[in-house]
Amino acid sequence: MNALQIVLLLVAIGAVVFGILNMKKAQLAQVDVSKAQARAEADLKAQRDQLFAEAEKEAERIRDRGIKEAESLRKEAELKVKEQALSARTEAEKLVNERLQALDKQEQRLQSKEEGLDKKLTQVDQKTKELELKGEKLKSEIEKLEGQQADAKRLVEEQAQLLETLSGYTREQAKAEIVGQLEYTAKMDAAKLIRRIEEEAQEEAQKKARWAIGDAIQRVASEVVTENAVTSVQLPSDDLKGRIIGREGRNIRALEKATGCDLIVDDTPESIVVSSFDPIRREVARQSILKLLADGRIHPARIEEVVEKVKVEMDQHLKEIGEATCIALGFPDVHPKLHKLVGRLNYRTSYGQNVLEHTKEVARIAEYMAVEMGADARLARRAGLFHDIGKAIDREVEGTHIEIGMELMKRFGEKEAVIHAMACHHGDHEPTTVEAMLITAADALSAARPGARREMLETYVKRLEQLEGIANSYKGVQKSYAMQAGREIRIMVDAGHVNDDQAFWIAKDVTKRIENEMQYPGQIKVTVMRETRAVEYAR
């Protein structure tokens, strides 16, 4: 039973039910009519027939109307069923057509794939045949090669036996001989290569070293010369410059010739500059100029006389300085000629440090350490006094100051223990006594004293710059000042960009960075200052 039949059956059942309902309604109407007739008969017997007739007519009309409505409903149901069946059929046909089209396309693709597979199978078969032919050819060639290889092995064996017979060596002996020759040749080649590389490296190192030294000299020479080769002489008035120069410059030329220094008379008020690498010559020139100015007689003859007199006085002054130093350190038995050399150290500097003061420090430090260690304190003090004696004349005599000092000490009768101790303070000789090691330590301690040498000053300046660099790296910092020899740093921040809490954390962060990145003695105080300024101008 299909859907159409079901629908028709349902419509028929509905019509029947509707007719039955109408019949029941009619029956009910008939009962009412009968009741009405009975009452009417009781009331009006005359109208009974008339009413009965009207009731029958009404029932007939109702029955006809029910039948008509049932028929119209059945027809409408049939039309709806037909329409639904038609739409379902149309939809089914559409789906069938789409599937047929898809099947056609798949069939075409399969057909094209089959054709491609057929072609590939044909090609594979052809290649397989070609490979089989090549394999057969290779087999034949391999057989030929194997035969040739067997012949070659036989010939090699015959040649090897012939070589063994002719050379008198077995195979192992010949192999060892060849390996030995190859090893010797390789070692010789390697040695030549290593020597060549070492020579090239030394040449390159020398070039780079000369370049580095020249670059360093170029950068620092002017500052060193300005600081260590110049002495300024103050004049009572600028009018005296003309008298020192003299007519056509004869006075200044006589001064330069007699003292061996260059005199610079420029626009600097009430000052003349004496330039020379020898500090004693500069001192002689300075004192000569002061004596000439005090005497008032300035001419070439008087200049030569005063310079010679000052030189004699300078020699006596150097001797007095040296003698006083030796006596102060407890050595009145020092050779008189060493007194002058010790005095010359007062006008000698090493890295900006006065050598005579450095000598005294080394002697005292070495004595203190010797006393604590139970060594010969007098020997240590005497070696400390003379450990840099060679620097007194190292600019006039060839050789290092240690070699010059050893020669001077031997010439003037110093003990071998003193000479050995002073000779070891730069590691040029191996120390064999405790005193020699103490002199080395004392020399390092004196040179390392903060402020003693220029390197210490540079290190100090770098520390201040590093402090200010750390502070200035923070956002909102306007300026920072390292104060009290690097014991405190004050940081000025912009009040518009940094509030009180941020200023507190800047101080904390700067403190932590200083602790992690720098090395310093004691403690460093970090102060962050924040202020607001209102500026206005009254016009």
Of 442, 434, 385, 428, the closest CA to residue 409 belongs to: 385
Residue 522's identity, in one-letter code, is: G
Q: Which two tokens stand for residue 44?
A: 């009006």
Helix, strand or coil, per DSSP, at residue 378 = helix
Q: Coil, strand, or helix at residue 490?
A: strand
8 A C-beta contact, residue 524 and residue 489: yes
Tokens 């005579």 found at: 356
User: Helices 416-423 and 401-411 sit at what angle, rounded to 10 degrees?
Assistant: 170
Measured CA to CA in angstroms, residue 90 lies from 77, 86, 97 at distances of 20, 6, 11
- Non-local (6+) Cβ contacts of 302 within 8 A are 292, 295
CA dihedral 345, 351, 352, 355 (to 10 degrees): -20
Q: Write down the pLDDT at residue 41.
A: 64
Classified as helix, coil or strand, 375 is coil
For 428, which DSSP code?
S
Pairing mode, strands 477-483 and 488-494: antiparallel
Give me the residues of the chain with pLDDT under 50, please.
220, 224, 452, 454-456
What integer pLDDT is reported at residue 455 of this predicted model?
Answer: 44
d(CA 252, CA 450): 41
Cβ-based neighbour number of residue 297 at 10 Å: 11
Contacts 24+ apart (CB under 8 A), 527-530: 527/488, 527/489, 527/490, 527/491, 528/491, 528/493, 528/503, 528/504, 529/490, 529/491, 529/492, 529/493, 530/493, 530/495, 530/498, 530/499, 530/500, 530/503
Q: Whole-angstrom Cα distance, residue 86 to residue 492?
A: 95
> From CA 318, how far away is CA 312, in angstroms rounded?
10
Burial class (CB in 10 A: 0-12, 13-18, 19+), 17: exposed
Give the number of residues written for the chain: 539
* pLDDT, tens digit (0-9, with 9 covering 90-100), for 384-440: 888 888 888 877 788 888 888 889 888 888 889 888 888 888 777 888 888 888 888
What's the mean pLDDT when you consider all of the chain? 80
Q: Whose CA is closest to 400, among 427, 379, 421, 418?
A: 427
Please identify which residue in the block is written with the tokens 């010059």: 404
Which residue's entry shows tokens 């090239």? Answer: 200
Q: How many CB atoms lie within 10 A of CB 484?
A: 10
Residue 339 has what pLDDT? 87
How many whole angstroms separate alpha carbon 391 and alpha carbon 473?
46
* pLDDT at 102 (0 to 100): 87
Q: Could you tell me which residues come within 8 angstroms of residue 290 by beta carbon, excluding any fewer than 6 positions away?
A: 233
| Residue 65 near residue 9, CB atoms below 8 Å | no
| Residues paired with residue 477 on neighbouring β-strands, in sequence order | 493
- Per-residue tokens: 434: 């405790």
Bridging pattern class, strands 525-531 and 262-264: unpaired
Give me 40's structure tokens.
């009417």
How many DSSP H helices and E strands does the chain contain? Answer: 15, 8
Structure tokens at 344: 């010359």
Other beta carbons within 10 Å of 35: 10
Task: Give 55-108 as a DSSP string.
Answer: HHHHHHHHHHHHHHHHHHHHHHHHHHHHHHHHHHHHHHHHHHHHHHHHHHHHHH
End-to-end alpha-carbon separation of the chain, Å? 115
Give buried/exposed letters for 101-112 (b at 16+ CB in 10 A, else e).
Answer: eeeeeeeeeeee
